[in-house]
Amino acid sequence: MNILTTSQKSNEVIQEEAKALAFSMHMTYIKRGKTSIPALFGKYQCEYIAVLAGSGLTIHFPENQQHTFHLSMAQLRILRIERGEGDHLVNAVQTILDRKGLHEGETFTFIDSTIGLASDSIIVSYAFPNAQIQGLEGSFPIWLATSYGLEHYIHNDQTVTNALRRITIKYATFEKYLPKLPDNSIDIIYFDPMFEVPVEESPQFKPLRGHTVESHIDDKIMAQAMRVATYGVIIKERPFSSVFQNYPPHQWVGGKYSRIGYGVYMKELM
C-alpha cells in the first residue's frame, strides 16, 4: 500500500492538495490528524509514507529515515560550471555531440536511465538548455520525491528552476522501458547504476539505503541501449567494474585511473 498523508499541522488547502497528489500518483490518501509517523507505520505496515506539508513532500521510512528532494550535488556542480571548472558528465555529453557535429543550441534527446535524485539530469539540463531529457527511476519512493521536486522546487536562480522543469520523469526500470523503444529513437542514453562495489556512501543516499533498485548493466541492456541510441551511450561506474571490462569504452571522461569513470560509447563504433 502506497500511503500519502499530510503533516500534523496541515490545513484544508494542503489536505486537498495531498488528496489530488495521491490520486494522480495512484496512492492511498490517509487523513493524518494527530497520528505520529511511527503509529502510522504500525497501523499500515507499509515500506514508506509520503507526507505533504507547506514546505514540500517528504518520504518517511520505517527505520526512522526520511528523504526530501533537494539539489544536493547539483548545486555545487552548477557553481563549478559557472566558475569555468567544467563537469565530467557535461564533457562526456559534449564529446558525443562534437563527434556528431552538433552545434551549440541544437536540440538532442537524452534518457537518464537511473535518474535517482536527478543531480546528473539537472546538470545536463542546465548545461544544454535545448536538450529534451527524460529520466527513469525504478524505485517508487525515489521516483515520487524526485518527480515532485522537479515539478515544484523553486531555486532563487530562475535558470536553475527552469532546468528542473524541463526534465520529465517516469516510474520505470530501464530493463522494461528500453526494449519498448524503437531503433535509433533517443540520441544519448545515460546509466549511473548503483556501483557494483560501492564507494563510500554519499550522504544524500544514506536515508535511501535499502530502497534503491540495484540492477547492473549486462549484455542484454547494453545491446538494447546501443539499438535505441542514435549517437551514443554514457555509463558512470568504477573503472574496474564488469561493464567496463566487458565493454571497454571508446573514450574515457574523468579518467580510467580515477575512482569513478564516465565511459563513452559511440553508436557508429559498436
Give the C-alpha separation, 136 to 193, whole Å: 11
Please report whether residue 260 would count as binding ligand SAM according to CB under 6 A: no
Distance of CA 169 to the CA centre of its chain: 8
Strand bridging mode 28-29 / 3-6: parallel
Interface residue with ligand SAM, options 114, 125, 224, 241 (CB under 6 A): 114
Q: What is the dihedral of CA 236, 166, 56, 32, to 10 degrees?
A: -100
Please report whether residue 213 would count as binding ligand SAM according to CB under 6 A: yes
Give the C-alpha separation, 134 to 169, whole Å: 6
Judged by CB under 6 A, the stretch of 13-21, 30-38, 212-220, 247-255 that binds ligand SAM is 212-220
Q: For 195, which DSSP code?
A: P
Interface residue with ligand SAM, options 139, 147, 224, 241 (CB under 6 A): 139
Interface residue with ligand SAM, options 71, 136, 145, 266 (CB under 6 A): 136
Q: Which is nearer to ligand SAM, 96 or 117 (CB)?
A: 117
Give the C-alpha separation, 155 to 235, whole Å: 29
Number of residues that bind ligand SAM (CB under 6 A): 20
Task: Give the phi and the psi of residue 171 in degrees, each rounded to 5.
Answer: -85, 100
Closest CB 264 distance from ligand SAM, rounded Å: 16
Closest CB 107 distance from ligand SAM, rounded Å: 22
Residues at the contact surface with ligand SAM, assessed by CB under 6 A: 114, 116-120, 136-139, 142, 173-175, 192-194, 212-213, 215
